[in-house]
A and B are shown apart, each in its own frame.
Chain A
């Protein structure tokens, strides 16, 4: 941890040197830029819009993804028939769908939500399907031996046993949804954090752009860490003890 502080100090020296005149502002200007962003009410208005879009995207894309993943994970036939398509589409660049999504949803926030939801959908399908298949068959046999009904099996075995990988899936999905929403905003929008970044670029206001980027990276990292932490705790609670 001390090394991190040291790194910070060293980096400050490197940055304050005149490497690239305006592109690498000294730390003071960076801090000022960051402060200006945080103190600026229009930033919070933009953040609220982006946050709302992101939330809607993760909810819509996530729920559709989990439902699809559950179906694929539970049925060998469905999985054999369709899962490869999702695996194939998973790593393709989603942003190219944006022009089409604009046609469907218009130029407003809805197209950004759609962009995020599409991005978020694929990782969740795949991680949910894998999670369902990863449930220890012994646990399912136990449930059957106690004559658990199907809904009880889902509620008492599948769900608790898959919490950890599901949270990890949400973590991945959240990351790509954030990228999808923000990029869509930089492309075509008049509000939101992505739009604010483009505005700073157009005015060549580097400290402000850095400030925005730092806030976004910090937010993404915080959510990522929180979800990762929750997933690890869930692993500790549900998995067998290590021998």
Chain B
């Protein structure tokens, strides 16, 4: 039963979609709120041909990776620094935690004033939102390295730099990767969110456009497309994370 359960789940969801199609056809569900699934599917080629969804996709992906890569690099560096200097950690970590819990994306009007309605605004907001969780994750990762591994390093006479490069970093690699995953996740959420809110650039703006034109099947299709993008991104990242952890 457990073997075929995923298949069963897929079937159940397909059935739901078919039911929805008939419910709309029968007038139980309002067609002007939820378009027919077939209409949504039919809208996809139109998005490809007329709305340039692929270019928009590339814009969103580029912005996400820019923000995510920057947040991973800076966040891992800051995390390592906080781990290295306990006094700094004691004074700053609570503030980083506050920022991680704060709805930083709400400050987007502020960034609009700073950077104008441009791609850099989108990237900077996504970077700022992704940074605190990455820092927290990295500090936790370094702190979780088993002390005996550090003792081995010291028993072989490793200095600070060699200890970091040969013991700390490889030992904490899975959590650094988790940091990357977090960075891309927060990056994507905020990039699409801000694109939608300020109606600029990639997929988020496309959804905003389509909905303002009351193009319902198009809106739903674009939403489906974004979900697909994010699902495939995280499937790849999860796979990488599990592979790294299995080596432990």
| Residues of A participating in the B interface, judged by any CB pair closer than 8 Å | 1, 3-4, 7, 20, 22-23, 76-78, 80-82, 84-85, 88-89, 91-100, 102-104, 175, 178-179, 182-183, 186-187, 194, 197-198, 200-201, 204, 206, 209-210, 213, 216-217, 220-221, 224-225
Q: In the complex the two chains form, what is the Cα distance from A76 to B4 in whole Å?
A: 12
Identify which of A93, A104, A197, A210 contacts B230 (C-beta below 8 A).
A93
Q: In the complex the two chains form, what is the Cα distance from A56 to B32 in whole Å?
A: 27
Report the 10 A-B pairs with minimum CB-CB distance, sorted nearest first: A81-B9, A99-B211, A3-B91, A80-B5, A201-B109, A224-B101, A93-B192, A217-B102, A92-B230, A221-B98
Question: Which of A96, A98, A186, A206 has its CB near the most chain B CB atoms (within 10 A)?
Answer: A96
Q: In the complex the two chains form, what is the Cα distance from A185 to B90 in whole Å?
A: 36
Closest to A22 in B: B113
Q: In the complex the two chains form, what is the Cα distance from A206 to B111 in whole Å?
A: 11
Question: Which of A91, A100, A213 has its CB near the most chain B CB atoms (within 10 A)?
Answer: A91
B68 to chain A, nearest CB (A): 12
Identify which of A76, A80, A198, A225 contacts B109 (C-beta below 8 A).
A198
Pick 14 A–B contacts, CB within 8 A, sort by A. Answer: A3-B91, A80-B6, A80-B9, A81-B6, A91-B188, A93-B192, A93-B226, A94-B189, A96-B207, A99-B219, A104-B33, A175-B103, A201-B112, A220-B103
Q: In the complex the two chains form, what is the Cα distance from A183 to B32 in whole Å?
A: 25
Residue B77 lies at the interface, judged by CB distance under 8 Å to chain A:
no
Contact A93/B204 with A99-B219, A175-B101 known, Cβ cut-off 8 Å: yes
Q: How many residues of B contact A (CB 8 A)?
A: 57
Q: Which residues of A contact B22 (CB under 8 A)?
A: none
Q: In the complex the two chains form, what is the Cα distance from A206 to B114 in whole Å?
A: 11
Q: Which residues of B contact A198 (CB under 8 A)?
A: 109
Residue B87 lies at the interface, judged by CB distance under 8 Å to chain A:
yes
Interface residues of B in 101-137 (CB under 8 A from A): 101-110, 112-114
Closest to A82 in B: B9
Interface residues of B in 198-216 (CB under 8 A from A): 203-204, 207-208, 211, 216
Identify which of B97, B106, B226 contacts A194 (C-beta below 8 A).
B106
A34 to chain B, nearest CB (A): 15
Q: Which residues of A contact B98 (CB under 8 A)?
A: 217, 221, 224
Query: How many contacting A-B pairs (Cβ < 8 A)?
Result: 151
Contact A197/B2 with A91-B230, A97-B223, A103-B33 known, Cβ cut-off 8 Å: no
Closest to B111 in A: A23
A221 and B192: CB pair below 8 A?
A: no
Question: Which of A92, A94, A217 has its CB near the most chain B CB atoms (within 10 A)?
Answer: A92
A6 to chain B, nearest CB (A): 8
Q: In the complex the two chains form, what is the Cα distance from A78 to B219 in whole Å?
A: 31
A216 to chain B, nearest CB (A): 6
Q: Which residues of A contact B103 (CB under 8 A)?
A: 175, 178-179, 182-183, 216-217, 220
Q: Which residues of A contact B144 (CB under 8 A)?
A: none
Closest to B107 in A: A213
Question: Which of A85, A99, A100 has its CB near the most chain B CB atoms (within 10 A)?
Answer: A99
Closest to A81 in B: B9
Q: In the complex the two chains form, what is the Cα distance from A194 to B106 in whole Å?
A: 8
Closest to B227 in A: A92
Residue B37 lies at the interface, judged by CB distance under 8 Å to chain A:
no
Q: Which residues of A contact B90 (CB under 8 A)?
A: 3
Q: In the complex the two chains form, what is the Cα distance from A35 to B33 in whole Å?
A: 44
Identify which of B204, B223, B231 contacts A100 (C-beta below 8 A).
B223
A220 and B101: CB pair below 8 A?
A: yes
Q: Which residues of A contact B190 (CB under 8 A)?
A: 93
B185 and A91: CB pair below 8 A?
A: yes
Q: Which residues of A contact B211 (CB under 8 A)?
A: 99-100, 102
Q: Which residues of B contact A216 (CB under 8 A)?
A: 102-103, 106
Q: Which residues of B contact A204 (CB under 8 A)?
A: 113
**Extra contacts besides A77-B8, A103-B32 (13): CB < 8 Å:** A81-B9, A85-B13, A88-B234, A91-B185, A93-B189, A95-B193, A96-B207, A100-B223, A175-B103, A200-B109, A201-B110, A213-B106, A213-B107
Residue B220 lies at the interface, judged by CB distance under 8 Å to chain A:
yes
Q: Which residues of B contact A178 (CB under 8 A)?
A: 103
Closest to A75 in B: B5
Q: In the complex the two chains form, what is the Cα distance from A209 to B111 in whole Å?
A: 12
Question: Which of A3, A97, A179, A225 has its CB near the most chain B CB atoms (within 10 A)?
Answer: A179
Residue B164 lies at the interface, judged by CB distance under 8 Å to chain A:
no
Q: Which residues of B contact A182 (CB under 8 A)?
A: 103, 106
